[in-house]
Structure 1
């Protein structure tokens, strides 16, 4: 056999082997994240990505684009619908109509525990057929949820010790919580939580609606003189949505991996956010800041004052083809269910 014949034979054999070899195709899903790659939520998002890879045996992988590289927080829903990313983070407050169902998790009701709130929200969004249909009509699938944890208040100057102390204060507040503060006499100031440090330092605001983990993240301990545990509700319409066309293109096994990892997010983020909250409060205590806790009576007054915003939400839900009052009842029942589970069994990460 000539040298050229040998080369030809070897090439043919190699081609035959290559064609006969099994093909292991990895599916890479593009994830859009408006926020930076740091902090509690970023840690949980990376955990979700790692779970998807692990549970799929490496067949699925998430390519996370951090810091709004693909879309801003205010363009997330349209971007996910259009397939700019396969899945990504959505902040419901920016989409009051599109995310009207998810907005139930932002309402000012007696829902202070982060894990309980996330489990109730996840259960509702994952299992309610009318909500699934509402999202499907937008080419979206719900995957998993986060939360800010309970709404609290930090102040420079005199502390807010009761609901009566809110009157006359210049307060940064958002959503139905901020509107309720305004209804109770606060002068509501429109600014982002990231501007609150400067606002407090300059005297533009006296107090800011906040969440405990942000004390460390935004160095609020440098400007807060007091911290009031309102322990009211939370901003919980913050989670992962997926483009439905892409979701439907996955195998049933791959779909299950995505949804299972998403369902586990509430437990993992509950653990992370609880630890972050504790660390922030310790910083305030170590610096001798005044720590105040609202009484049950004051919380009841806030809940009563916020009721009209629940009614307004129910009206918008009805207009979107949902049964607003029925969803509110189901959500409150789920909060009670998971609160009872926590009281009886503790948090999942404490159960051994």
Structure 2
């Protein structure tokens, strides 16, 4: 009887110890629980739980339940959430280094872009220190993928076709289109369907999977693959106090789970984008690939905004030119890896 009581007591102590070992982290996410990015986020949490042998659990607050996208940085830094998704365009000063992934460079491959961005954010000491000063730790990166453009009653087959068009634009990509003669119309991507349908817009910049998801194939006649660049400055940041409070093993679990995100989202978003282009083709939309010579003209048009970013980074205490060189070298590194080995999910 004594042995049975002792065994039961040990079991209770073991169970209590296990419960105490588990840490539930609150994750703030402004987006909905659907789509490729949501799937990649879920995979991140599952990987972190597995790598921590169950120590780390997650409570994801979807749809801006804790804070909207524009309040994510302070929400994480102040501990409203332990970690969450930050979209850099909402924080151009604080996230200037991360904003390098939004620049109109020759960087249109989702996986290459994410790997280069992740490598830079993870391993550059200046960026790490800058984030630490804001009580933040970088864990992993997402991307919206390459910026392309759909048009109604028009077709962009060359840079010359841009002049005079009414366009909804995205960041520096939109500004470069304005410099090339487009009239920019301020409008959300979610309102672009109506804008195209009503004639308020001739064209809308966006991403293939989003174009199809928003059913814009119903109102566009052409879709031009710009092969120019992407918007990739969004990812997972963590409250540094919360991170530092974890064991070394749990910290490594989070970092390793974040490092795997480009492979997970790269595969998902590539599949979604390919399906979206096929959806547009099936709807009768003309798919146009911009010639290389015109792509170079776009790169030239985007150059002033790259220079402006360098100045902004310098003003923030970073070496903008050195960061840009490092980032371009990383893009070349992962382009070479893709060329030699293919994507990770095809190896």
Please tell me the TM-score bracket, short chain as reference: over 0.9
Q: Output the CA distance in 2 between the equivalents of 1:194 and 1:240.
A: 24
* Correspondence 1:97 to 2:87: no
Partner of 1:120: 116
Q: Hey, which bits of structure 1, 4+ residues long, moved more than 4 A?
A: 12-20
Q: Output the CA distance in 1 between the equivalents of 2:12 and 2:92.
A: 53
Q: Using a 3 Å threshold, how does the CA distance of structure 1 residues 251 and 155 change in structure 2: closer, same or farther?
A: same
User: Map of 1:45-84 to 2, 5 A cutoff?
Assistant: 45-84=41-80
Which among 144, 151, 155 is matched to residue 147 of structure 2? 151
Partner of 1:42: 38
Q: Output the CA distance in 1 between the equivalents of 2:280 and 2:13.
A: 65
Partner of 2:29: 33
Does structure 2 retain, via aligned residues, the 8 Å contact 1:52–1:62? Answer: no
* Correspondence 1:331 to 2:323: no
* Correspondence 1:313 to 2:313: no
* Correspondence 1:238 to 2:234: yes
Does structure 2 retain, via aligned residues, the 8 Å contact 1:162–1:298? Answer: yes
Higher Rg: 1
Q: Output the CA distance in 1 between the equivalents of 2:286 and 2:65.
A: 40
Q: Output the CA distance in 2 between the equivalents of 1:17 and 1:147.
A: 49
Using the size of structure 1 for normalisation, the TM-score is 0.94
Which among 288, 293, 296 is matched to residue 300 of structure 1? 296
Does structure 1 retain, via aligned residues, the 8 Å contact 2:44–2:257? Answer: yes
User: Map of 1:226-265 to 2, 5 A cutoff?
Assistant: 226-265=222-261
Using the size of structure 2 for normalisation, the TM-score is 0.96
Measured on the aligned residues, the alpha-carbon RMSD in Å equals 1.7
Partner of 1:290: 286
Partner of 1:216: 212
* Correspondence 1:169 to 2:165: yes
Per the alignment, in what secondary structure is the counterpart of residue 60 of structure 2? strand
Q: Output the CA distance in 2 between the equivalents of 1:179 and 1:17.
A: 67
Does structure 1 retain, via aligned residues, the 8 Å contact 2:212–2:280? Answer: no
Partner of 1:160: 156
Instruction: Give 5+ residue unaligned stretches, structure 2.
Output: none
Does structure 1 retain, via aligned residues, the 8 Å contact 2:103–2:305? Answer: yes
- How far 1:198 sits from its partner (Å)? 1.1
Aligned residues: 343
1:179-207 deviations in Å (ceiling 9; x for gaps): 00000000011111111111111111110
1:236-266 deviations in Å (ceiling 9; x for gaps): 0011110011000011100000000000000
Per the alignment, in what secondary structure is the counterpart of residue 149 of structure 1? coil
1:23-42 deviations in Å (ceiling 9; x for gaps): 11210000000001111111
Partner of 1:3: none
Instruction: Give 5+ residue unaligned stretches, structure 1.
Output: 1-5
1:206-261 deviations in Å (ceiling 9; x for gaps): 10011111122111111111100001000000111100110000111000000000
